């Protein structure tokens, strides 16, 4: 009897583009892909912090380079990624959050969140998919979404709306690009300790709300997301597309 073998989680010889790679979940994603053997193109807006992140990757023995990228500038983004050439993996972790009660939503905040989290994420996926199709690459596109793509939350009407939109276009892209062998998925974390969540954790009543909702009794760390990134980027998830991988400590189990 011949036993089946687990598909490889390795990414040796693959090229991966990670947007939002200079901090938080994006930096963790870049490190995870580098550990798995990929060459990582680390993209972000801030040149100084991005340079430090790339240097840290290289010091750890990973293959990495920097790319200055603002996903909210669609035209500029297209120009920036064109010289990079086709990649095998995209992890889009770039995004912003501006929280307020719905009755107090500032239109400028609404536009900023939608420009980055929806429009930017959409056209970055499209740009990378173009390269995959033309090069015949059976690639993987992963967007860092949120548990708020499945539920609502206090002061999060705009942010939640943006992540619900991400889930919608992910499913449609998965349908359209499946014939090319391109897989499109999201990861939906709970509250993870990053600079983006600092404003929530700095408010004791909000931290209490978060901890009471997470069934495992703790908030997330960047390391909790890294395995999910490698799984969706690798052949281990070869039949997974149009899906959301929940890494939410049981928040949405209710």
> Which one is catalytic: 110, 122, 159, 231?
159
Compute how many other C-beta atoms are within 10 angstroms of the C-beta atom of residue 90. 27
DSSP code per residue over 152-196: --TT-HHHHHHHHHHHHHHHHHHHHHGGGT-EEEEEEE--BSSGG
Which residue(s) pair with 41 in the sheet? 17, 65
- Read off the DSSP letter of residue 220: B
Instruction: For tokens 């719905």, name the residue.
Output: 102
The closest of 34, 27, 29, 71 to 50, measured between CA atoms, is 27
d(CA 69, CA 44): 5
d(CA 192, CA 216): 13
Q: Are 69 and 81 in contact (CB under 8 A)?
A: yes
Q: Which helix (H) or strand (E) holds 49?
A: helix 47-59
Identify whether 159 is a catalytic site residue: yes
- Read off the DSSP letter of residue 84: G
| Catalytic residue positions, numbered | 159
């Amino acid at each position: 009897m011949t036993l089946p073998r687990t598909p490889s989680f390795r990414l040796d010889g693959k090229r991966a583009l990670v947007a939002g790679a200079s901090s938080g979940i994006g930096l963790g994603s870049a490190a995870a892909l580098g550990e798995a053997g990929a060459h990582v193109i680390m993209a972000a807006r801030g040149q100084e912090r991005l340079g430090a992140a790339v240097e840290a990757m290289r010091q750890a023995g990973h293959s990495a380079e920097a790319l200055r990228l603002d996903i909210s500038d669609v035209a500029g983004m297209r120009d920036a990624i064109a010289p990079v050439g086709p990649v095998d993996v995209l992890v889009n972790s770039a995004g912003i959050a501006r929280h307020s009660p719905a009755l107090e939503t500032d239109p400028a905040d609404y536009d900023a969140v939608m420009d980055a989290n929806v429009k930017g994420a959409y056209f970055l996926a499209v740009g990378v998919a173009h390269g995959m199709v033309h090069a015949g690459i059976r690639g993987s596109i992963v967007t860092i979404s949120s548990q708020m793509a499945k539920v609502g939350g206090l002061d999060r009407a705009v942010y939640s709306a943006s992540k619900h939109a991400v889930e919608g276009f992910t499913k449609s892209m998965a349908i359209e690009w499946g014939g090319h062998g391109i897989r499109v998925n999201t990861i939906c974390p709970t509250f993870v300790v990053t600079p983006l969540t600092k404003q929530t954790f700095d408010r004791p009543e909000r931290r209490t709300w978060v901890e009471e909702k997470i069934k495992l009794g703790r908030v997330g760390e960047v390391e909790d997301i890294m395995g999910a990134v490698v799984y969706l980027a690798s052949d281990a998830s070869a039949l997974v597309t149009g899906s959301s991988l929940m890494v939410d400590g049981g928040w949405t189990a209710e």
